[in-house]
């Protein structure tokens, strides 16, 4: 049997996060990292993980989308653990190591998402593209739930989505097959050189792909005026803000 590490509490929850449901072993909320416990996967669990019927889930919550094209829409967020892209400014680094997040039955995830009035789900991470998402997408679609994917595009995608937000990263660029699938290109701006990167990425997506620039939060006051000037000169681009931070919601 293969060891699988899972947090014995609700790891890495945000200050304002009210989880829609906790894993049975969870006992605490907040930014408290609890010593992990070790699960040993039997052969069946390994198969279920490979098939996407189990996924390492960091958190699930019902909130309002704060970024990009779907800003302002109520949605159920599913944050899947595991990411090897390694953005130094990432604000959810606790999502990177999949082994500290409990394997969760996808059918249960679908049932929880379907219990909320907003019929949209945001799949985020981490990097959800690391896993088979076919089973999750089918379950959500069967419940008439719109599926919005947020991805760096570093992996070939599985699953069917109503909206794909591609947020490419320079240190691990998207797989070539992802560009043509993107409905929205969202480039994070943390330094001047990112504008050139954004224009390079624009050339690779479909002509009808919507274009967004979003200031990296830790330098947003510095980068915001530069983004404004850039958009005034390049009006095909739009501004995206992390409005959830202003609303103080997860």
Task: Specify whether the backbone of 54 is left (phi greater than 0), alpha (psi in -120 to 50) or beta.
Answer: beta
d(CA 160, CA 137) in angstroms, rounded, equals 6
Choose between 171 and 97: higher pLDDT: 171
Q: Going by DSSP bridges, is the β-strand pair 74-80/103-105 parallel, antiparallel, or unpaired? A: unpaired
The number of helix segments (H) and strand segments (E) in the chain equals 7, 11
Considering only CA atoms, which of 84, 79, 3 is closest in space to residue 45? Answer: 3
43-50 LR contacts (CB < 8 Å, sep 24+): 43/1, 45/4, 45/103, 46/2, 49/103, 50/132
pLDDT per position as a tens digit, 7-42: 333 333 333 333 343 333 333 333 333 334 345 567
Which domains are seen in the chain, by residue range? 2-24+37-247 (3.20.20.70)
Task: Specify whether the backbone of 74 is left (phi greater than 0), alpha (psi in -120 to 50) or beta.
Answer: beta
Could you tell me what percentage of the chain is helix, strand and coil, using 3-state DSSP and rounding each to the nearest 5?
Answer: 30, 25, 45
pLDDT per position as a tens digit, 171-222: 889 999 999 999 999 999 999 999 999 999 999 999 999 999 999 999 999 9
d(CA 66, CA 84) in angstroms, rounded, equals 24
Residues near 244 by Cβ (< 8 Å), separated by ≥ 6? 63, 64, 65, 66, 67, 250
pTM for the model: 0.80
Q: Which residue, chain included where needed, has tokens 């604000």? A: 91
pLDDT per position as a tens digit, 119-165: 999 999 889 999 999 999 999 999 999 999 999 999 999 999 999 99
> Which H or E run includes 111?
helix 106-114
Structure tokens at 245: 């931070």
């Amino acid at each position: 049997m293969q060891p699988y590490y899972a947090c014995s509490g609700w790891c890495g929850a945000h200050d304002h996060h009210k989880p829609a449901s906790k894993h049975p072993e969870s006992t605490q909320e907040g930014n408290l990292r609890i010593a992990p416990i070790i699960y040993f996967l039997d052969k069946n669990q390994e198969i279920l993980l490979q098939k996407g019927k189990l996924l390492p889930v960091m958190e699930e919550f019902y909130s309002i989308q704060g970024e990009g094209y779907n800003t302002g829409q109520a949605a159920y967020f599913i944050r899947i653990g595991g990411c090897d892209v390694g953005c130094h400014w990432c604000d959810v680094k606790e999502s990177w190591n999949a082994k500290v997040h409990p394997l969760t039955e996808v059918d249960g995830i679908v049932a929880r998402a379907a219990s909320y009035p907003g019929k949209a789900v945001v799949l985020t991470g981490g990097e959800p593209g690391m896993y088979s998402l076919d089973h999750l997408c089918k379950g959500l679609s069967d419940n008439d739930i719109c599926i919005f994917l947020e991805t760096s595009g570093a992996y070939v995608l599985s699953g069917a989505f109503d909206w794909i937000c591609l947020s490419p990263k320079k240190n691990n660029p998207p797989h070539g097959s992802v560009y043509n699938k993107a409905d929205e290109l969202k480039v994070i701006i943390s330094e001047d050189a990112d504008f050139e990167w954004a224009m390079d990425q624009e050339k690779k997506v479909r002509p009808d792909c919507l274009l967004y620039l979003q200031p990296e939060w830790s330098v947003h006051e510095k980068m915001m005026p530069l983004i404004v000037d850039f958009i005034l000169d390049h009006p095909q681009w739009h501004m995206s803000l992390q409005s959830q931070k202003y609303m103080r919601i997860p």
